[in-house]
Amino acid sequence: MKDSHKISQSISNVGFISGGIQAAIGDNIQNMTTVSDQENNTFSSTEMIKLLSQIEKVIKNTDFPPEAEEMKRKIEHYVTQSKMEAEIKNPDKQFIRTKLEQVSTDIEKASKTFDSVSNLWRKVKPLCLKLLGLLSNMV
């Protein structure tokens, strides 16, 4: 009787150890996923800031006609707001997306309205599309 008791105790201990290993592995996977997600968000935020800086530079280097200066200031303001939001720890993706839509709409309108900025949308559109892709991939 003592031998059968030892066997069942041994099996019981193996089950406990196995369960403990699975729990430890599960915790490590969860921790790795959390760290990976944080790194992904940091990378995405850094990349977003770079893209927004590129958009900002293109806009600043574009000569808007005097009658479109207010539109230029508004576009620069939207880009600045997006960039500021991207710089915080947990940026509001919807806020950035909304500002990008405003930037896109105004730049497209300016490109169609004023000959001097007709190439602006062609230059900025790929950057906006990359930003939207990053926003959709952020956790």
Instruction: Please report whether residue 9 resides in a domain.
Output: no
Residue 53 lies in a domain: yes
The structure's pTM equals 0.67
Question: Which residue matches tokens 């059968």?
Answer: 4
Domain-located, residue 112: yes
For residue 120, being part of any structural domain is answered with: yes
In a domain, 106, yes or no: yes
In a domain, 3, yes or no: no
Amino acid 25: pLDDT: 41
**Could you tell me which residues come within 8 angstroms of residue 120 by beta carbon, excluding any fewer than 6 positions away?**
58, 59, 62, 107, 110, 111
| Pairwise CA distance, residues 74 & 24, whole Å | 53
Give the C-alpha separation, 107 to 64, whole Å: 11
Q: What is the pLDDT along the chain (139 residues), one digit of tens a residue?
A: 555 444 444 444 444 444 443 444 444 334 333 333 444 455 578 899 999 999 999 999 999 999 999 999 999 999 999 999 999 988 899 999 999 999 999 999 999 999 989 899 999 999 999 998 888 887 5
Give the count of domains, the chain.
1
Looking at the domain assignment, is residue 33 inside a domain?
A: no
What does the pLDDT read at residue 45?
82
Asked whether residue 22 is domain-assigned, the answer is no
- Give every CB contact of residue 97 below 8 A, 6+ residues apart in sequence: 132, 135
Q: How high is the pLDDT of residue 1?
A: 53
Domain carrying residue 89:
40-137
